[in-house]
Amino acid sequence: MSNHLQKPDSGKKLKKLSKKEKLHFITETLENFYPEVPIPLDHKDSYTLLIAVLLSAQCTDERVNKITPSLFAAADNPGDMSQLDASFIEDIIRPCGLSPRKSKAIHELSKILLEKHGGQVPESFEDLEALPGVGHKTASVVMSQAFGHAAFPVDTHIHRLSQRWGLTNGKSVEQTEKDLKNMFPEVLWNKLHLQIIFYGREYCPARGHDLNKCIICKTLNP
């Protein structure tokens, strides 16, 4: 995506931006670079998305996408998944890391979906977060990407960029989520969190960060 660097030069030699200008610059730049943001985890419905997001904890999306075809070939719905042995699930998902914990969670939540939710993924934060292995971030991804509800999932990457860009000084992802929600209009949340992830991977990595290639850091920190 090197053509992104040929976009109009947003390094406007701005010495200091007001908070309003900073937020406008960030959203404008991200929209310019990533007008379309496909969901990075391959899935076909809310259940397969839930499982993929659960697997992505401490694992790259790329690796998850290599594992889920085998898993979903064996079971792609709560009924079939609950019939599998947790050890069978664990063998398939081992490359994703934390396989004992994740396989147990997948097996148990599938049974709970059958017993309590008619085999459907519930469309509420409360019910999602009550499922084994599903924390607030995972629930936020499902609520935003599967059901279209406004949410701002914050992972370690968004937390890091938000600090680097001076959007938060929170020491936790929970505080960062609260700060970002207060700063950006709700209508932007679902798309913006994906745009930040894509931008961070390509231009603002934790290691090997090149200020000359990262137009946001270059402008916000002249």
Active site residue 19: no
**79, 119 Cβ separation under 8 angstroms:** yes
- Where do we find the tokens 């939540």? 109
How far is the C-alpha of 77 from the C-alpha of 183, rounded, in Å?
38
Catalytic residue, candidates 22, 76, 102, 155: 155
Catalytic residue, candidates 45, 137, 181, 210: 137
Q: Which residues contact 151 (CB under 8 A, 6 or more apart)?
A: 140, 141, 143, 144, 189, 190
Q: Please report how many Cα atoms fall inside a 13 Å half-sphere around the Cα of residue 155, on the Cβ side.
A: 20
How far is the C-alpha of 2 from the C-alpha of 24, rounded, in Å?
23
Active site residue 155: yes
How far is the C-alpha of 117 from the C-alpha of 96, rounded, in Å?
27
* Alpha helix stretches (DSSP H) within the chain: 19-33, 46-55, 61-74, 78-83, 86-93, 99-117, 125-129, 136-141, 156-164, 173-183, 189-203, 215-220
* Per-residue tokens: 106: 């997948």
How far is the C-alpha of 172 from the C-alpha of 28, rounded, in Å?
26
Catalytic residue IDs:
137, 155
